[in-house]
Structure 1
């Protein structure tokens, strides 16, 4: 896919996450004739995949988790829906709804449903504090700002290695700190100019602006730092989103504090149960449909 960031795909409902809540939201949105986008990973719902058996999902007594996961995916496919592996790095309100930013392009949506599950991401020390001040999650978006400068890339997935090659075309020096397992890095040939440093990232260092990364093996310094992971924390993904200690704050309709943004599943809090997730996905989709129809009626 090209890196033309002026390309837009437009949807009624954009769903971020392809677990049970996200897929439930997708089919319910599609049933109501809305154009739906699903943004997920290359393997949807690993938690369901690893479940040896499930006893509490009505009508499917003692079914294997992987069998149920496959049924969910088959249902989505049968309805003509596809799961995009474009990682969304930012969701921003605009006059027509929302702009979603990914690595290679923009998407437009009238509504957004967050169904990203429970995040296992643990930011390194000072990462959030320096976000936007020398720390970025998107090389394509912010890389041009560092043309001719020194950058560090902390790669937690294969995409991070690809982004290192992209930055090598712009920056004067690229230092790569890879946390990617060797088997997951197969097929990626790094640019010869990239400096590879071994170590575990511990914290971002700097004063007003981030100037480097402290590793368990020492410190490295640069003008900018790019952190590439499989997903972005919801509060960093959608600026201004309200959270509690339990998760994203929603009302009974799945609505967040931002009009047009809904949330469902484990990301809004316990109990972390399959039936709860699929039910909340349906509620969020119905709420998004109602929101869209009300906007249309007022226009």
Structure 2
């Protein structure tokens, strides 16, 4: 079992990780590829102390090199859901499961706006995990909505399992999608049906489907961990980066403005140290 699981491999997550690692805790960071972060894509950063004019790419690379020298373990994968087990937590990371004593959420800004019908049909034809639920739709017709190339692996997997797969990318350039997948460039508007999903309504057409998979670069925080208190679309924390859930901390952009690297690093440090203190007090 992990001592600390950190969700997000950006500045806040890496800062939390190295501060917990240096205190001899069993830590693992879970995150998407580094080049998908907002900070990485920044052309120039002038307000990070001691690194005037640095590019986002070089700044993140320096953070990663630091983490590697500290032997901080980083697991590349999308955290789909976190389950409260009553004193500990279990993470579902691309259908791999990890147990942990504490959690630090450093998952950045996530788009919490749901598609019409998404919440209503969750578990009734709507899924956020193709590898988890894809086999349930063997021989059926499904659609997958993806907001980044991260979703392409999922849609390719579904094409091996399902009779027919529609892919609705909400980003511009498609990289690697199997030829048997039908790609449709249109805006998703609603998921409809009676007791289960029957149709995906797009801006210019309707698709008869048995299931709709929604694969976002990061799962919306409100779906990620049940019972987490939010405030103004951000995770509500106190000065110690504590959330309303015991043993759960948050740091970085997910806690709200200002969206600055320096703020993320500072909050990550605090969250990491507070998680260590919690573990020591409950040893």
TM-score by length of 1: 0.85
Q: Equivalent of 2:216, from 229, 253, 267?
A: 229
Q: Equivalent of 2:39, from 28, 32, 47?
A: 47
How many aligned positions are there? 282
Matches for 1:76-225 after TM superposition, within 5 Å: 76-94=67-85, 97-120=88-111, 122-179=113-170, 181-182=172-173, 184-186=174-176, 188-190=177-179, 192=180, 194-225=181-212
Deviations 1:32-84 (A, max 9, x none): 111211112212543254142323x3344454444332221221111112432
Q: CA deviation at 1:230?
A: 1.1
Aligned equivalents of 2:154, 2:57: Cα separation in 1: 32
Q: CA deviation at 1:222?
A: 1.5
**Mapped contact 1:150–1:222 kept (Cα < 8 A):** yes
* RMSD over equivalenced CA pairs, Å: 2.3
1:58 is matched with which residue? 49
Aligned equivalents of 2:81, 2:45: Cα separation in 1: 36
**Mapped contact 2:34–2:40 kept (Cα < 8 A):** no
Give the unaligned 5+ runs of structure 2: none
Give the unaligned 5+ runs of structure 1: 1-9
2:274 is matched with which residue? 287
Aligned equivalents of 1:164, 1:69: Cα separation in 2: 29
1:4 is matched with which residue? none
Q: CA deviation at 1:128?
A: 3.1
Aligned equivalents of 1:225, 1:176: Cα separation in 2: 10
SS at match of 2:219: coil
**Mapped contact 1:54–1:65 kept (Cα < 8 A):** no
2:252 is matched with which residue? 265
SS at match of 2:34: coil
Matches for 1:12-51 after TM superposition, within 5 Å: 12-43=3-34, 45-51=37-43
SS at match of 2:39: helix
SS at match of 1:106: strand
Deviations 1:252-285 (A, max 9, x none): 2111111111101111111222222111111111
Aligned equivalents of 2:145, 2:124: Cα separation in 1: 16
Aligned equivalents of 1:73, 1:159: Cα separation in 2: 21
Q: CA deviation at 1:104?
A: 3.8
SS at match of 1:47: coil
Structure 1 outlier segments of 4+, above 6 Å: none
Q: Aligned in 2, Cα 1:267/1:181: closer, same or farther, shift over 3 Å? A: same
